[in-house]
């Protein structure tokens, strides 16, 4: 089966870039991305490519190459479903905030709504592809919904988890380590797998396209994120020990990273990991393990989250202690709000939780981030519910100029590793700060020797 028409439900951080790259690489396939959020679709269709709702290096050029040719963004969900032979589901699967599994299980209500809409609209056979990160065996739930519509349409369910990293999404999609496709082992399932393999084979070597059963594919995504997050929490745990013993966590990471069995990636000590995937997926893994009675397995993975939360609290606490045990009325400048550089995504960003702790200590927060909008910063804090929206607005001021954000500050906290921070005139920043002037580098980004020579009291993680 040769795919000519693809629909993707969900125009967010996964659906938008993934489908844009497919359209770019497969000019003979029509790709339609649909979403009920009218403003988001309008932003994807904006002539000014700087207004795309997702910021990723290189994404604007990819969108420009295919939009209007074979890449389309629309709010007409039913039409796109009806026309497509292959439908990707790429909607949000947040952690449940209510009921059974609250705080750990994935909330699958949007997945179910998609399945029910596909079932209601489809008039011919479809291949439905899970692109969202889902708990193992979600495909069975989708299949149950689709196959009990009574309209005689045949559906094949595939799992095709994304392994892209925000900030490098386009590069990851163009040159992935692997593409994973899971499906049924019967003849129809294998035909559906091959149809998706043929799409990716337009630009990806076939030896990098892995096929498995659908359950292995679903679980592989959760496992990959759990292992990566575990490495971050592991080096952050060692960073605290380094601070107590006089060891340097950067030197420790370099030493162990040269071991070929370990490798150097994801061993950079920091204020903690964020993003939409790591915490959500590990909590989901914990819930799945508990649901099968695997208490020790659940406890093991839950410790990764506990360590990450501890690192964020520890960072905020260290600021308070270093500033003579009070930050009340003191201006703390935040450089960065996004959870990592080269993205405007702030989900689970360490900056949110550090700011929350410091606001509870009555600090005055000044925020500069080159890509994050003001409304997002306030929405992040309001979502935590620790204070009223009015109190958050009073306690946090946003700036479009980093030098203004740092003026008259008692301390600076580096919360995102934006490259531009390294190129600032730090002498000028120092001259316009309260003395003594502190820098708390939550990303170990800056040159510590240079900062001390300027006059800053400079602190890095794990040193």
Q: Please check whether residue 99 is in contact with residue 107, taking contact to mean a CB–CB distance below 8 angstroms.
A: no
pLDDT tens for 422-435 read: 999 999 999 999 99
The DSSP output letter for 75 is: S
Q: Please check whether residue 7 is in contact with residue 131, taking contact to mean a CB–CB distance below 8 angstroms.
A: no
What's the distance, CA 297 to chain centroid? 24
Cα distances from 93 to residues 89, 104, 130, 133, 273, in angstroms, run 11, 12, 12, 7, 19
Q: Which residues contact 406 (CB under 8 A, 6 or more apart)?
A: 333, 335, 366, 368, 412, 429, 432, 433
Q: Please check whether residue 173 is in contact with residue 15, taking contact to mean a CB–CB distance below 8 angstroms.
A: no
Sheet holding 364-368, edge to edge: 396-399, 364-368, 331-335, 411-414, 438-441, 457-460
pLDDT value at residue 136 = 63
pLDDT value at residue 110 = 83
Q: Which residues contact 335 (CB under 8 A, 6 or more apart)?
A: 368, 369, 402, 405, 406, 412, 413, 414, 415, 416, 418, 421
Q: What is the CA radius of gyration of the chain?
A: 24
Taking the C-alpha atoms of 322, 328, 333 and 335 in order, what is their torsion angle to the nearest 10 degrees? 70
Tokens found for residue 65: 């190459």
Torsional class of 280: left (φ above 0), alpha (ψ -120 to 50), beta (otherwise): alpha
Calculate ∠ Cα 60-20-47, nearest 5°: 40
Task: Return per-residue pLDDT of the chain as tens, 463 residues.
Answer: 899 999 999 999 999 999 999 999 999 999 999 999 999 999 999 999 999 999 999 999 999 999 999 999 999 999 999 999 999 999 888 888 889 888 887 788 888 889 889 989 999 999 999 987 666 667 787 888 888 765 788 999 999 999 988 899 999 999 999 999 999 999 999 999 999 999 999 999 999 999 999 889 989 989 999 999 999 999 999 999 999 999 999 999 999 999 999 999 999 999 999 998 899 999 999 999 999 999 999 999 999 999 999 999 999 999 999 999 999 999 999 999 999 999 999 999 999 999 999 999 999 999 999 999 999 999 999 999 999 999 999 999 999 999 999 999 999 999 999 999 999 999 999 999 999 999 999 999 999 999 999 999 999 999 9
Calculate ∠ Cα 362-95-133, nearest 5°: 130
Q: Please check whether residue 358 is in contact with residue 319, taking contact to mean a CB–CB distance below 8 angstroms.
A: yes
pLDDT tens for 96-133 read: 888 988 888 778 888 888 988 998 999 999 999 998 76
Q: How far is the C-alpha of 457 from the C-alpha of 440, rounded, in Å? A: 9
Q: Could you tell me the sign of the dihedral formed by the alpha carbons of 427, 432, 435, 440, in that order?
A: negative
pLDDT value at residue 339 = 97
Of 54, 45, 11, the closest CA to residue 347 belongs to: 54
Q: Would the pTM of this model clear 0.75, i.e. be above it?
A: yes
Q: Is 277 an annotated catalytic residue?
A: yes
Q: What is the DSSP string of 232-298?
A: HHHHHHHHHHHHHHT--HHHHHHHHHTSTTT-STT----S---SSSHHHHHHHHHHHHHHTT-HHHH
Q: Could you tell me the sign of the dihedral formed by the alpha carbons of 222, 225, 230, 233, in that order?
A: negative
Q: What is the DSSP string of 371-407?
A: S--HHHHHHHHHHHTSS-HHHHHHHEEEESSHHHHHT
Calculate ∠ Cα 92-95-96, nearest 5°: 110
What's the distance, CA 403 to chain centroid? 28
Q: How far is the C-alpha of 377 from the C-alpha of 381, rounded, in Å? A: 7
Catalytic residue, from 7, 26, 114, 277: name it.
Answer: 277
Q: Please check whether residue 390 is in contact with residue 350, taking contact to mean a CB–CB distance below 8 angstroms.
A: no
């Amino acid at each position: 089966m040769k795919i000519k028409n693809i629909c993707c439900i969900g125009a967010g951080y996964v659906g938008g870039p993934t489908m844009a790259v497919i359209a770019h690489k497969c000019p003979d396939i029509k790709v339609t991305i649909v979403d009920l959020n009218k403003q988001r679709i309008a932003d994807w269709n904006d002539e000014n490519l700087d207004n795309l709702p997702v910021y990723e290096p290189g994404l604007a050029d990819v969108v420009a190459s295919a939009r209007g040719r074979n890449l389309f963004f629309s709010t007409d969900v039913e039409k796109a479903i009806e026309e497509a032979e292959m439908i990707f589901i790429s909607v949000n699967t947040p952690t449940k905030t209510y009921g059974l599994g609250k705080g750990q299980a994935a909330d699958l209500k949007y997945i179910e709504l998609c399945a029910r809409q596909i079932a209601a609209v489809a008039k011919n056979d479809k291949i439905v592809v899970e692109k969202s990160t889902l708990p193992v065996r979600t495909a069975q739930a989708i299949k149950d919904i689709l196959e009990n519509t009574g309209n005689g349409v045949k559906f094949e369910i595939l799992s095709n988890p994304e392994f892209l990293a925000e900030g490098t999404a386009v590069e990851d999609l163009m040159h992935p380590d692997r593409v994973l496709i899971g499906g049924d082992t019967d003849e129809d399932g294998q035909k559906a797998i091959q149809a998706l393999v043929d799409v990716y084979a337009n630009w990806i070597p076939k030896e990098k396209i892995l096929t498995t059963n659908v359950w292995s594919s679903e679980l592989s995504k959760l496992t990959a994120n759990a292992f990566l997050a575990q490495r971050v929490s592991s080096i952050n745990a060692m960073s605290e020990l380094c601070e107590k013993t006089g060891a340097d966590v950067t030197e420790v990471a370099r030493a162990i990273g040269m071991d070929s069995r370990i490798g150097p990636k994801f061993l950079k000590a920091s204020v903690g990991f964020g993003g939409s995937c790591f915490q959500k997926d590990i909590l989901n893994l914990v819930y799945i393990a508990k649901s099968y009675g695997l208490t020790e397995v659940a406890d093991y993975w839950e410790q990764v989250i506990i360590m990450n939360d501890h690192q964020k609290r520890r960072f905020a606490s260290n600021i308070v202690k270093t500033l003579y045990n009070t930050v009340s009325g003191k201006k703390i400048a935040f450089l960065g709000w996004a959870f990592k550089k080269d993205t405007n995504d702030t989900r689970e960003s360490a900056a949110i939780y550090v700011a929350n702790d410091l606001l509870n200590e009555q600090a005055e927060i000044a925020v500069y981030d080159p890509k994050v909008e003001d409304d997002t910063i306030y929405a992040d804090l309001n979502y935590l519910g620790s204070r009223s929206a009015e109190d958050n607005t009073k306690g946090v001021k946003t700036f479009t100029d980093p030098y203004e954000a740092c003026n008259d500050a008692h301390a600076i906290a580096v919360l995102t590793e934006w490259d531009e921070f390294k190129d600032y005139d730090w002498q000028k920043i120092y001259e316009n700060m309260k003395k003594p002037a502190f820098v708390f580098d939550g990303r170990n980004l800056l040159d510590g020797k240079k900062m001390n020579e300027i006059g800053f009291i400079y602190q890095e993680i794990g040193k």
